[in-house]
Chains A and B, each alone.
Chain A
Amino acid sequence: MASLKALKGRIDSVKSTQKITKAMQMVAAAKLKRAQNAAEAGRPYAERLEKVVASLASKVTISSTTPKLLTGTGEDKVHLFVVATSDKGLAGAFNANIARLARRQADSLIKQGKTVKFYTIGKKGRAVLNRLYRGQVVESIEPGDLGKLSFADAHAWAEDLIARYEAGEFDVAHLFYSHFKSVLAQDPTQQQIIPVKVPDDAPRQEGAAAIEYEPDEEAILADLLPRNVAVQLFRAMRENAASEQGSKMTAMDNATRNAGDLIKRLNIEYNRKRQAAITTELVEIISGAEAL
Chain B
Amino acid sequence: MALHFELVTPEKLVRSSEVYQVVVPGAEGDFGVLAGHAPFMATVRDGNLAIYAEERGQPELIRIEGGFAEVNEKGLTVLAEKAE
Contacts and interface: CB of A to CB of B under 8 A. Distances in A.
Interface residues of B, number: 25
B84 to A, nearest CB: 13
A44 B13 contact: yes
Determine the main DSSP class of A at the interface with B.
Answer: helix
B9 interface: yes
Contact of A46 (B10, B26, B66, B72): B10
Nearest to B16: A44
Given A151-B81, A214-B27, A227-B66, A219 B43 contact: yes
Contacts of A234: 10
Interface string A25-47: 00000000000001001101110
A151 B39 contact: no
Contact of B11 (A42, A56, A214, A215): A42
Contacts of B26: 214
A44 B70 CA distance: 14
B12 A41 contact: yes
20 contacts: A41-B13, A42-B12, A44-B8, A44-B13, A45-B13, A46-B10, A52-B68, A52-B79, A151-B10, A210-B39, A211-B41, A212-B38, A213-B41, A214-B26, A214-B27, A215-B42, A215-B43, A220-B68, A227-B81, A230-B10
A76 interface: no
Interface in B46-84: 66, 68, 70, 72-73, 77, 79, 81-82
A223 B79 CA distance: 13
B74 to A, nearest CB: 11
Nearest to A49: B79
B56 to A, nearest CB: 28
Sort chain A's interface into a size bin: 20 to 34
Contacts of A52: 41, 68, 70, 79
Nearest to A233: B10
B41 A212 contact: yes
B33 to A, nearest CB: 12
A286 interface: no
A224 interface: yes
A151 B38 contact: no
